[in-house]
Amino acid sequence: MAVLKDETMSIKSSEDVVRVRQVAREFAAEQGLSLVDQTKIVTAASELARNTLDHGGGGTVRLEAINSEPRRGLRLTFEDQGPGIPDIELALKDGYTTGGGLGLGLSGAKRLSNEFEIFSRVGEGTRVTITRWK
């Protein structure tokens, strides 16, 4: 797999969440994703960026335009050094929420992506990676 282009952004404010959406949109468009697929990955990015900010105490996202013959895609890795998620399975259930939200952040992002990976340790932080292929 080749990384054609990558960028790392910090997520420290709600304006950063907006900026993440914009850059994710640019990457997705450049990789030739259809409009619907672009919308899906950008929406997933928005959910995860917000999680990073609200639950992770801020963090970063690394966006990568990737090429794995014959497919092209976009991979986003969200990372924070926050409290971590004690029960990942529970967190991935639809409707589960700790913040009074709709509880769709993690599970929603998973549904909107082709690949989803999550690592989390209580007291250390969380890393979520999503990939959308063209």
Partner 1 sequence: MERIPILKMGDYLLVTIQVDMHDRLALTLQDDLTEGIARTRARGVLIDISSLEIVDSFIGRMLGNIAAMSRVLDAETVVVGMRPAVAITLVELGLSLPGVRTALNVEQGMSLLQGARAEQENANGRAER
Partner 2 sequence: MNQKAQSLIPDRSRIPEMIAKRESDLLTDWMREQLAATTLRSDLMRESELREQSRQFLNLVIRAASQQPGLNDINAPAWEEAREFLSGVSRSRAHQGFSPSETATFIFSLKQPLFSLMRQELEGDPRKLADEMWVATALLDKLGLYTTEAYQKAREEVIRRQQQELLELSTPVVVLWEGILALPLIGTLDSARTQVVMESLLEKIVETGASIAIIDITGVPTVDTLVAQHLLKTVSAARLMGADCIISGIRPQIAQTIVHLGVNLTDVITKSSLADAFAVALRRARMVITRAENHG
Interface residues with partner 2 (CB under 8 A)? 1-2, 4, 36, 67-70
Give the closest residue to 38 by CA, choosing from 4, 11, 65, 77. 65
Q: Residues 13 to 42: which contact partner 1 by CB under 8 A?
A: 13-15, 17-18, 21-22, 25, 35-36, 38-40, 42
- Tell me which of partner 1, partner 2, none is bound by residue 88, counting a contact when its beta carbon lies within the kind-specific cut-off of 5 to 8 angstroms: none
Compute the distance between CA of residue 93 and CA of residue 21 in angstroms, rounded to an integer: 24
Our CB check for partner 2 shows the closer of 1 and 122 to be: 1
Q: What is the dihedral of CA 18, 24, 26, 29, to 10 degrees?
A: -130
Which of positions 89-118 make contact with partner 1 (CB under 8 A)? 94, 101-102, 104-105, 107-108, 111-112
Which of 29/88 has CB closer to partner 2? 29
Q: How far is the CB of 49 from partner 1 (least distance, A)?
A: 9
Nearest approach in angstroms of CB 35 to partner 1 is 5
Strands lying side by side in the sheet with 2-11: 2-11, 59-68, 71-80, 125-133, 115-121
**Residue entry with tokens 């990073």:** 52
Strand partners, 103: none
Instruction: Give 60's strand partners.
Output: 10, 79
Which residues of the shown chain bind partner 1 in the complex (CB under 8 A)?
13-15, 17-18, 21-22, 25, 35-36, 38-40, 42-43, 46-47, 50, 94, 101-102, 104-105, 107-108, 111-112
